[in-house]
């Protein structure tokens, strides 16, 4: 890791420098009218080598999958195959314009169509759209589908969505954007949906107002809800739909098809289960799959078969476009390549190994940390950081950095105090898991014998813990020269 | 098995450690009748085979690198320096997560801060966030932000010449809300704003390429207590007055043009900036400068009390994953181009588009309305051409000859049969522009 301070690009600037070369103007010049013309443009002036060194040095201040174990729960930080990058960068994709027309875009439409079909096969869905640009965008699309379906049946008063208390924050935030209010459903002692609470929520005066439930299964505790079919039955009986959050699909590809167990609408995050890189925050891509009678409501356009080729089409009662054009196509190329390389058997093997790796790591970590729900887990599990007086999960997370590991997801899910949510993924080997568990055990020792090592961590990084409170109180959000 | 490290021997040892005799035993929580379904998918193929398969598919697309390309309409063919991809393909950037752990994410965080700084200057805003999915969703969220800010003000003014797909996305986003969309033609100052107006949206330039008078539009909106939202071409902002300078409260832009390939429509870059006054109502991630206990400068995600992972149903938006890597590409692009390169690209677009418009206006039967003295219109890199025969027929004929002349506006409005939207950028040589003119003339014969 690069520990040296790095100047801002503006601080590297000197008048007259430039990092790119452009052709001379070869047509008669037309002056820009003075009343429209801009007076000053305060952008940096830097040569190409300095730009390259600057960003290369910055890159060396990051942990990444390519350089470090990155066991972030619910984020599925698996290896991103390099061939996917090469294939997404082909000229035929990069320089393809979205408005050139179906006839001239047959390659892209074939890829979208085949990926729609493949992901439907994996999830057990009848139809799908790849237009959403991310998981939360897929959720928004899916909840709009739920809403449009109810409205189409003259059932517009259904505006309440049930959300288990272990859910990702995007679920309730999505409901708000779709004009819904949310009703939290508590978890039971086993970490699943509390069935009595669910029945009470569905049985009361608001029964006719329930639009559905948003459920993540396996949930964010890394547990598969054994009652999934019963939950779906109860919600359907009350007139609602079941939305599946596919953030944790990595546990069940080839193992379980949500569409076969009563999930009506679901998104997958292609940047999790389907190996596309996270890019420091994005881009992702969202797939939304639905049961047959919801197909007409999907966001579009979607790719369809037409004669011997492919075409774009808008579903007949579509909720509309959720983005310009057809989704994060470059991300779709990567996911398609991945699904093709794994195939039916490989997809099952990935989930098997993701779950095996998590269970193996859990058994090792349990020796030094409490695990809130000691049942067998799926692809991730949630440990707790209250291992010594005065020690918090944050301290453990920061100390892990000193040992060269990216911290797990912390303080989530909200229902587990001092949560440490660990997802190793299938692409890690046994030695890495062993080393990580050993370091966690060592940190647990340090917590008791030398807690300052934890409180002062990290010490091996370009900066120590940063004062986030001060940063938010008087925000500096741009370089001020 | 690709991408799985553990051997059969490893798995055996791990199963023993877990205390189960088979992998299948790990899945007993799943309803037994639904466990291990058959996947109707072919078996996996090798890296070599998948490369051949996908290369063959990619070859089935007409692409801008093999044509004289004048099609824009929201997706723009611009030059991308090699250094952009060299940086964004580095695994340390490519395979990092959202920078929630700042000590091990300073690379990503500082890059976002630099992007925010350069984008804020370009758009003339005080705050820029770390991205939306694309220009259309950025604009939709900007309108939502203004609508929420406006309280009981339910009216939103949209220009008739807004990209039709953007209008569709805004309508989708407002499906559940009590909003009144009103369209206005021409200048934003012509919008009949009143005390029930939350915002006026203006595109700069509009879908047909015209540069509108933002200042007058902003003054009128503000006089009625409404916000003024501008969706801008970021390249154009290098030479024309910035939307912020002209009074915009919120600016959105499609950042694809800043060093990002067209990629058949995505991944692109939704840019959003706002005045400092609106900063805490803005969606999306924002990076701020901070200090550690030794006083060293660092960067963190800040103002997170707006976001879904903190506020859940009270968050200003549900956005989580954004377009981080695309933002990085725009950041590197702006750093390479800098003050002079950005201006140069914009001037090349301006000059070449004006040359193309004047050449096409000379063709028999073709007209370029924006050049009419009476119209007194300004344009940047796109303009509408009225054609003597249906524009779709011209596009079809010429595309087969590798001259892609633009977008037939009948694509979005079946009534506009004889109009072609032409886009000219720094990628087009004079020879290509002359070829376009002669090809149009031939096609109309």
pLDDT, tens digit, 9 for 90 and up, residues B153-184 = 999 999 999 999 999 999 999 999 999 999 99
Q: Is B308 on the interface with A (CB under 8 A)?
A: yes
Compute the residue count for chain B: 445
C-alpha distance from residue B370 to each of A168, B189, B357 (Å): 51, 19, 9
Nearest Cα to A363, choosing from A383, A343, A349, A345? A383
- Average pLDDT over all residues of chain B: 97
For chain B, the farthest-separated pair of C-alpha atoms sits apart, in whole angstroms, at 84
pLDDT beyond 90 at A405: yes
Q: Which DSSP string do the residues of A256-281 spell out, in sequence order?
A: --GGGGT--EEEEETTTTT----TTT
* A293 — pLDDT class (breaks 50, 70, 90): very high
The structure tokens listed for A91 are 């000229």
Query: How many angstroms separate the CA of residue B445 from the nearest CA in chain A?
Result: 23
Domain boundary among A320, A342, A364: A342
Distance CA B138, CA B170 (A): 10
Distance CA A125, CA B421 (A): 40
B26 backbone dihedrals φ, ψ, rounded to 5°: -70, -15
Domain check: are A270 and A314 in the same one?
yes
- Domain count for chain A, please give it: 2
Nearest Cα to B254, choosing from B275, B274, B235, B229? B235
CB B377 within 8 A of CB B213: no
* B243 — pLDDT class (breaks 50, 70, 90): very high
Q: Please name each of the domains of chain B with its CATH number.
A: 65-77+339-443 (3.90.1150.10), 83-331 (3.40.640.10)
If you ran DSSP here, which 8-state letter would residue B37 be given? P
- Tokens 């400092």 correspond to what residue? B276
CB B324 to CB A278 under 8 A? yes
B56-77 average pLDDT score: 97
**Secondary structure class of B383 (helix, strand, coil):** strand
Compute the residue count for chain A: 481
Instruction: Report A:385-404 residues touching B (Cβ under 8 A).
Output: 397-398, 401
A405 to chain B: closest CA residue: B104
CB B312 within 8 A of CB A169: yes
CATH number for the domain including A208?
A: 3.40.640.10
* A294 — pLDDT class (breaks 50, 70, 90): very high
Beta bridge partners of A181: A160
Instruction: Report B:113-152 residues touching A (Cβ under 8 A).
Output: 113-114, 116-118, 120-122, 126-128, 130-131, 133-137, 144
Question: Which range has the worst mean pLDDT, A450-459, B15-24, B373-382?
Answer: B373-382
Model pLDDT, residue B1: 73
Give the helix/strand (H/E) hosting B86: helix B82-88
What pairing do the DSSP bridges indicate for beta strands A181-185 and A160-164? parallel
Q: Is A367 on the interface with B (CB under 8 A)?
A: no
CB A193 within 8 A of CB A185: yes
C-alpha distance from residue B106 to each of A8, B296, B297 (Å): 12, 12, 10
B362-380 average pLDDT score: 91
Q: Is residue A106 part of a domain?
A: yes
Distance CA A237, CA B423 (A): 55
Domain check: are A311 and A259 in the same one?
yes
B84 to chain A: closest CA residue: A52
Q: Return the axis-axis angle of helices A430-449 and A329-365, rounded to nearest 10°.
A: 60
* B120 — pLDDT class (breaks 50, 70, 90): very high
Q: Is residue A216 part of a domain?
A: yes
Give the helix/strand (H/E) hosting B360: helix B324-361
* A374 — pLDDT class (breaks 50, 70, 90): confident
Domain check: are A49 and A190 in the same one?
no
B242-268 average pLDDT score: 98
Model pLDDT, residue A481: 77
Q: Is B280 on the interface with A (CB under 8 A)?
A: no
What pairing do the DSSP bridges indicate for beta strands B407-408 and B419-423? antiparallel
The structure tokens listed for B430 are 């004079």
With a threshold of 0.90, tell me whether the complex ipTM lies above it: yes
pLDDT beyond 80 at B375: no
Query: How many angstroms separate the CA of residue A142 from the nearest CA in chain B?
Result: 12
**Secondary structure class of A327 (helix, strand, coil):** coil
Q: Is residue A446 part of a domain?
A: no
Instruction: Report A:47-66 residues touching B (Cβ under 8 A).
Output: 48, 51-52, 54-56, 58-66
pLDDT beyond 90 at B2: no
CB B228 within 8 A of CB B199: yes
Q: Is B383 on the interface with A (CB under 8 A)?
A: no
Domain check: are A230 and A107 in the same one?
yes
Domain check: are A48 and A152 in the same one?
no
- Average pLDDT over all residues of chain A: 97
Q: Which residues of B touch A465 (CB under 8 A)?
A: 103, 292-293
Model pLDDT, residue B232: 98
B352-365 average pLDDT score: 98
Q: SS3 string of A10-78? A: HHHCCCCCCCCCCCCCCCCCCCCCCCCECCCCCCCCCCHHHHHHHHHHHHCCECCCCCCCCCECCCCCC
**pTM for this prediction:** 0.98
pLDDT beyond 80 at B61: yes
Q: Is residue A372 part of a domain?
A: no
Domain check: are A226 and A305 in the same one?
yes
CB A416 within 8 A of CB A65: no
B291-315 average pLDDT score: 93
Model pLDDT, residue A204: 85
Percent of chain A with pLDDT over 70: 100
pLDDT beyond 80 at A216: yes
**Secondary structure class of B33 (helix, strand, coil):** helix
Q: Which residues of B touch A178 (CB under 8 A)?
A: 175-176
A305-322 average pLDDT score: 98
Instruction: Report B:53-72 residues touching A (Cβ under 8 A).
Output: 53-65, 69, 71
Domain check: are A222 and A327 in the same one?
yes
Domain check: are A245 and A134 in the same one?
yes
Beta bridge partners of B423: B382
The structure tokens listed for B321 are 């994953």
Q: Is residue A439 part of a domain?
A: no
Q: Which residues of A touch B352 (CB under 8 A)?
A: 25, 27
Domain check: are A191 and A315 in the same one?
yes
Q: Which DSSP string do the residues of A285-299 spell out, in sequence order?
A: -EEEEE-GGGGGGS-
B33-58 average pLDDT score: 97
Q: Is B111 on the interface with A (CB under 8 A)?
A: yes
Domain check: are A48 and A120 in the same one?
no
- Tokens 């690209």 correspond to what residue? B345
Domain check: are A102 and A138 in the same one?
yes
pLDDT beyond 90 at B374: no
Question: Judging by beta carbons within 10 Å of its beta carbon (0-12, 13-18, 19+), is residue B430 exposed, middle or buried?
Answer: middle
Nearest Cα to A328, choosing from A2, A74, A93? A93
A114-141 average pLDDT score: 98
B315-339 average pLDDT score: 96
* B419 — pLDDT class (breaks 50, 70, 90): very high
The structure tokens listed for A16 are 């007259």
Q: Is residue A243 part of a domain?
A: yes
Domain check: are A90 and A27 in the same one?
no
Q: Is residue A373 part of a domain?
A: no
B302 to chain A: closest CA residue: A472
Q: Is residue A352 part of a domain?
A: no
Q: Which domain holds residue A183?
A: 84-342
């Amino acid at each position: 890791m690069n520990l040296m301070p790095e100047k801002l690009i503006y601080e590297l600037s000197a008048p007259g420098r430039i990092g790119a070369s452009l052709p001379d103007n070869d047509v008669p010049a037309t002056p820009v009218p003075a009343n429209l013309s801009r007076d000053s443009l305060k952008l940096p002036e830097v040569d190409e080598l300095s730009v390259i060194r600057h960003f290369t040095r910055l890159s060396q201040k990051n942990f990444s999958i390519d350089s470090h174990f990155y066991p972030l729960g619910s984020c599925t930080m698996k290896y991103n195959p390099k061939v996917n990058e090469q294939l997404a960068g082909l000229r035929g994709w990069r320089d393809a314009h979205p408005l050139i027309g179906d006839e001239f875009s047959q390659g892209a439409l074939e890829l979208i169509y085949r990926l729609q079909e493949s992901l439907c096969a994996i999830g057990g869905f009848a139809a799908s759209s790849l237009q959403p640009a991310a998981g939360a965008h897929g959720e928004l699309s899916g909840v709009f589908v739920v809403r449009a379906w109810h409205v189409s049946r003259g059932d517009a008063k259904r505006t309440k969505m049930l959300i288990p208390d272990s859910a990702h924050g995007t679920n309730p935030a999505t409901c708000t954007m779709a004009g819904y209010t949310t009703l939290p459903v508590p978890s039971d002692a086993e970490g699943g949906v509390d069935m009595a609470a669910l029945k009470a929520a569905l049985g009361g005066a608001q029964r006719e107002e329930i639009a559905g439930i948003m459920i993540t299964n396996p949930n964010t505790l890394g547990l598969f809800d054994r009652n999934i079919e019963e939950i779906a039955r109860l919600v359907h009986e009350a007139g609602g739909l079941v939305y599946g959050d596919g953030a944790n699909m990595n546990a069940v590809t080839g193992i379980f098809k949500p569409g076969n167990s009563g999930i009506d609408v679901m998104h997958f995050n292609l940047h999790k289960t389907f190996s596309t890189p996270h890019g420091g925050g994005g881009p992702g891509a969202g797939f939304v799959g639905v049961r047959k009678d919801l197909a007409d409501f999907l966001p579009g356009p979607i790719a369809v078969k037409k004669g011997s080729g492919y075409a774009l089409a808008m579903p007949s009662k579509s909720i509309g476009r959720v983005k310009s054009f057809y989704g994060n196509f470059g991300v779709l190329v990567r996911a398609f390549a991945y699904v093709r390389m794994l195939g039916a058997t490989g997809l099952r093997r990935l989930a098997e190994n993701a779950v095996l790796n998590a269970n193996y790591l859990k058994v090792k970590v349990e020796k030094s940390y409490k695990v809130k729900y000691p049942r067998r887990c799926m692809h991730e599990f949630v440990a707790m950081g209250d291992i010594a007086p005065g020690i918090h999960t944050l301290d453990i997370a920061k100390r892990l950095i000193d040992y060269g590991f990216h911290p797990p997801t912390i303080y989530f899910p909200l229902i587990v105090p001092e949560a440490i949510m660990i997802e190793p993924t299938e692409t890690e080997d046994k030695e890495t898991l062993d080393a990580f568990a050993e370091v966690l055990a060592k940190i647990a020792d340090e917590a008791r014998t030398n807690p300052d090592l934890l409180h002062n961590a990290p010490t091996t990084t370009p900066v120590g813990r940063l004062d986030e409170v001060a940063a938010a109180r008087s925000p500096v959000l741009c370089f001020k020269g | 098995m690709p991408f799985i490290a553990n051997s059969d021997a490893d798995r055996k040892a791990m199963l023993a450690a877990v205390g189960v005799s088979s992998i299948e035993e790990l899945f007993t929580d799943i309803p037994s009748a639904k466990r291990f379904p058959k996947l109707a998918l072919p078996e996996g193929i090798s890296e070599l085979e998948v490369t051949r398969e996908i290369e063959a598919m990619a070859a089935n697309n007409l692409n801008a690198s093999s044509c004289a390309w004048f099609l824009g309409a929201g997706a723009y063919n611009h030059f991308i320096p090699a250094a952009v991809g060299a940086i964004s393909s580095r695994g340390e950037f490519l395979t990092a997560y959202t920078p929630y752990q700042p000590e091990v994410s300073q690379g990503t965080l500082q890059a976002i801060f630099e992007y925010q700084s350069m984008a804020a200057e370009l758009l003339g805003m005080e705050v820029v966030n770390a991205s939306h999915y694309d220009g259309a969703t950025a604009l939709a969220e900007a309108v939502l932000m203004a609508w929420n800010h406006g309280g009981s003000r339910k009216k939103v003014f949209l220009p008739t010449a807004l990209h039709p797909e953007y209008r569709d996305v805004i309508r989708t986003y407002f499906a559940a809300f009590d909003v009144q969309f009103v369209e206005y033609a021409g200048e934003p100052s012509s919008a009949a704003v009143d005390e029930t107006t939350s915002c006026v949206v203006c595109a700069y330039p509009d879908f047909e390429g015209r540069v509108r008078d933002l200042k007058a539009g902003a003054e009128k909106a503000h006089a009625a207590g409404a916000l003024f939202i501008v969706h801008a071409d970021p390249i154009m902002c290098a030479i024309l007055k910035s939307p912020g300078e002209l009074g915009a409260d919120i600016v959105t832009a499609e950042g694809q043009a800043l060093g990002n390939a067209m990629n058949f429509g995505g991944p692109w870059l939704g840019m959003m900036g706002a005045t400092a006054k609106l900063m805490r109502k803005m969606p999306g991630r924002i990076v701020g400068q901070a200090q550690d206990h030794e006083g060293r400068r660092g960067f963190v995600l800040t103002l997170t009390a707006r976001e879904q992972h903190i506020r859940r149903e009270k968050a200003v938006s549900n956005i989580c994953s954004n377009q981080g890597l695309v933002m990085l590409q725009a950041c590197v692009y702006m750093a390479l181009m800098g003050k002079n390169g950005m201006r140069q690209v914009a001037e090349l677009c301006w000059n070449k588009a004006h040359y193309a418009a004047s050449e096409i206006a000379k063709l028999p039967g073709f007209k370029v309305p924006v050049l009419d003295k009476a119209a007194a219109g300004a344009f940047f890199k796109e303009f509408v051409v009225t054609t003597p025969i249906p524009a779709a027929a011209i596009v079809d004929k010429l595309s087969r000859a590798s001259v892609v002349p633009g977008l037939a506006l009948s694509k979005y409005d079946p009534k506009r049969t004889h109009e072609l939207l032409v886009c000219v950028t720094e990628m087009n040589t004079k020879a290509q522009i002359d070829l376009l003119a002669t090809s149009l003339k031939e096609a109309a014969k």
